Amino acid sequence: MNYREVGNTGIEISEIGFGCGGFAGLFVRGTHFEQRAAVSRALELGINYFDEAPEYGNGVSETNLGLVLKDLGVRPYITTKVEVYGQHLDDIAGRIVKSTEESLQRLQVDYVDFLQVHNPPRLTENTEMREGSFSGLSVNDYLKPGGALDGLERVQRAGKVRFIGFTNQGGTFEPAAKLIDTGRFNLVNLACSLMEPQFGVDRPYGMRLEGGWGPTPLIAYAHAHGVGISVINGLASGALTDMGIAGEIPHPLTRGSRLRNEARAFNFLSRSGEHNLAEASIRWLLMLEGVSTVLGGFSSVEQVEESTGNSGAPALAKQDLKRIEMAWRGNFASAGPE
C-alpha cells in the first residue's frame, strides 16, 4: 500500500480508503462477521483510513464500525461528518457540536481525525432546505459567526477533532474555492470518475457534460492550497465495473449498480491480464495530482482485495488515456444501445 499526505496536515493515509457509506451496504446491512472480516483484511493490506457519516444508515454505520474497531483493538484514521438540516439553520455551530458528540459515542472514540460538513457549499442561501433533510449550505452559512466553520473550530479546540473539512458532492467549483481560500479547511470529499471528470481535468474540447467545471480542476486547486482530496463515487455507483456495464448486480448487500449507458464507452479498459474496468477507473483517479485517497465502497473482502491491488500498480497506458479523452470529446458516443 502506498500512502499520501492529506494536504499540509502531516497525516499520511492509504491511497485506497475504506468508505462505510450505505450504497455498498456492508456497514449498514452486513453482519458483524462480514464487517469484521472486511476490516481485518483491509488493515492487513495496509488501509489505515475509514470514512464515516451519521447519515450512513442513520448512525448504524458509525455504530457498527465502532464495534468492529473495538473488537479488533485497532485505531485507524477516521473521518466522520455532520449533516445540517433545515431545523438547524438558526444554530449551525450548535448542531455541529452536538452531532460530533453523538458520533464519538457511536464510534467509541475520544476524537476523530477529520470532521467534515456533509452539506456541499453553494453561493446563495438555501431557502428550500426543510426540516429532516440536508442539502447545500451557503458560503455565508459556513463562514458567518455561529456558522459551520465556527462549530468545526469549537470541537477542534475541545480536542474532539484534529482537522476539518467539507464535502462537495453535487457542488461546483466557485463556492468550494471560496472555502478553500480561507485557509481554514484541510480535507474535501468530492465525487470524481471517468463518467464525471469535472473536478479532475480541464474540460475536454467538445464535451457537453455540464456542472462542476471551473477555471482549473478543483482537485488541482485544492492541492495548490494545501488541502487534501478524498474521492468518492469513483466507480459511478457501480456503473464503471464489468458487472455494471453488463447490467448485473455486483453484490447482494449493495443497492444495485446504476447502469448508465455512457459507461460502455470505456469497455476498452477491461482487458484480461492487465486490468478490469473498475481497476482501470481507480488507477486513473490515482494518477490525478492532489488526490489523497480514493474511497472504496466495499461490500465484501474480495472487493477490498481488488481495490487495494491498485495501489502501486502501473499507471494507465498513454494510449488508454488518449482513448479516454476521445470518449469524453465524443460525449460517450461509443456507448452501445440500451
Q: Cα angle at 125 between 154 and 22, to 5 degrees? A: 65
Which pLDDT belongs to residue 131? 75
Give 12-237+246-255+286-315's CATH code, choosing from 3.40.50.300, 3.40.1440.10, 3.20.20.100, 2.120.10.30.
3.20.20.100
pLDDT digits (tens, 9 = 90+) for 155-206: 999 999 999 999 998 899 999 999 999 999 999 999 999 999 999 999 999 9
d(CA 86, CA 133): 6
The CA–CA distances, whole Å, from 302 to 23, 144, 162, 251, 297 equal 17, 46, 32, 11, 12
| pLDDT computed for residue 338 by the predictor | 43
Residue 122: phi and psi, rounded to 5, are: -140, 160
Determine the pLDDT at residue 254. Answer: 60
Q: Would you say 273 and 211 are in contact if contact means Cβ atoms under 8 Å apart?
A: no
Grouping H, G, I as helix, E, B as strand and the rest as coil, residue 305 is: helix
121 pLDDT higher than 80:
yes
Taking only Cα atoms into account, the Rg of the chain, rounded to an integer number of angstroms, comes to 19
Rounded mean pLDDT, 93-112: 98
DSSP alpha helix (H) spans, 130-249:
139-143, 148-157, 173-181, 218-224, 242-245
Residue 323's pLDDT band (boundaries 50, 70, 90)? very high
Percentage of residues of the chain with pLDDT beyond 90: 79
41 in Cβ contact with 338 (< 8 Å): no
- Provide mean pLDDT across the span 61-73: 97
Residue 319 pLDDT > 50, yes or no? yes
What is the DSSP-derived secondary structure letter of residue 182? T
Q: Quick: pLDDT tens for 261-317.
A: 889 999 999 999 899 999 999 999 999 999 999 999 888 999 999 999 999 999 999
Per-residue confidence (pLDDT) for residue 246, from 0 to 100 = 74
Q: Domain limits of the chain?
A: 12-237+246-255+286-315
| Rounded Cα–Cα distance for residues 291 and 279 (Å) | 16
Confidence of residue 42 (pLDDT cuts 50, 70, 90): very high
Look at residue 256 in the predicted model and tell me its pLDDT: 55
Query: How many C-beta atoms lie closer than 10 Å to residue 244's C-beta?
Result: 24
d(CA 139, CA 29): 35
- DSSP per residue, 270-304: -BTTTB-HHHHHHHHHHTSTTEEEEEEE-SSHHHH
C-beta separation of 324 from 266 below 8 A: yes
- Grid look-up 449493495 returns 254
**Residue 235 pLDDT:** 92
Q: Is the pLDDT of residue 129 over 60?
A: yes
